Amino acid sequence: MPLVTVEYPAGQLSAPQKAVLAEELTALMLEIEGGGDTPFGRAGSLVRFRETDRADWFVGGVNDETYVQGRPIFLVEIYVPEGLLDQQRKSQAHKAANDALARVIGAGEDRRRYFWIQIFEWPDGSLASDGATIDLFGIAKRAGHPATHPVLEFPRAYFDAKSRLFDAHGFPKTTAGRALNRY
């Protein structure tokens, strides 16, 4: 259930390139998130493009080509539920997004360093759908993943460890950041 934002200076992507990139990023993120490339998974996967006026895009404190010499610059922000991705999967997402962008715009190795890929995790219990708070395990259940699905091993260990830490320091059971559901 990723949300991906691709931000770039005006004129860097055509409408057909956006369509191809949106499909590639959706498929890649659903795979990295555990193979949820289903109608439910796709319905919760959003890719948005933000074209920024060149006058408002600064690199190195200036908005000319001093530091980029005609190279395209992209900022890709990937939002996923907290605890879903371990470091290996985060690195996989970084590489996959970078590679997809490079393929779509035809960028060589020397241009990839101008792609900035950031992963943000929204805290468990901070997302709502259909007027109700939804969490990682609730999303997995709605997606049809069994409780024993391998993609849930890391999140389960992550939230168990986080709960032990909260308990050891006397945090109330209602403290935000604990897993809402124990699917």
pLDDT of 110 reads: 65
- Give the residue ranges of DSSP H helices in 8-135: 15-32, 39-43, 87-105
pLDDT of 181 reads: 80
Residues with Cβ within 8 Å of residue 88, at least 6 apart in sequence: none
State yes or no: pLDDT of 112 exceeds 70.
Answer: no
CB 114 within 8 A of CB 60: no
Task: Break the chain into its structural domains and give their ranges.
Answer: 3-122
Calculate mean pLDDT across residues 80-103: 93
pLDDT of 154 reads: 94
Distances (CA, A) of 30 to 101, 112, 164: 17, 23, 30
Residues with Cβ within 8 Å of residue 47, at least 6 apart in sequence: 4, 5, 6, 21, 22, 25, 26
Higher pLDDT, 104 or 178: 104
pLDDT of 36 reads: 76
Calculate mean pLDDT across residues 94-112: 85
Tens-digit pLDDT profile for residues 114-163: 899 999 999 988 888 889 888 888 888 888 888 898 889 999 999 999 99
CATH class of 3-122: alpha beta
Chain-centre distance of CA 132, in angstroms? 22
Joined together, the tokens standing for residue 6 give: 């691709």
Chain-centre distance of CA 127, in angstroms? 14
pLDDT of 180 reads: 82
Tens-digit pLDDT profile for residues 7-61: 999 999 999 999 999 999 999 989 888 877 888 889 889 999 999 998 999 989 9
Q: Are strands 74-81 and 3-9 parallel, antiparallel or unpaired?
A: antiparallel
Average pLDDT, the chain: 89
State yes or no: pLDDT of 73 exceeds 90.
Answer: no
Phi and psi torsions of 15, nearest 5°: -60, -45
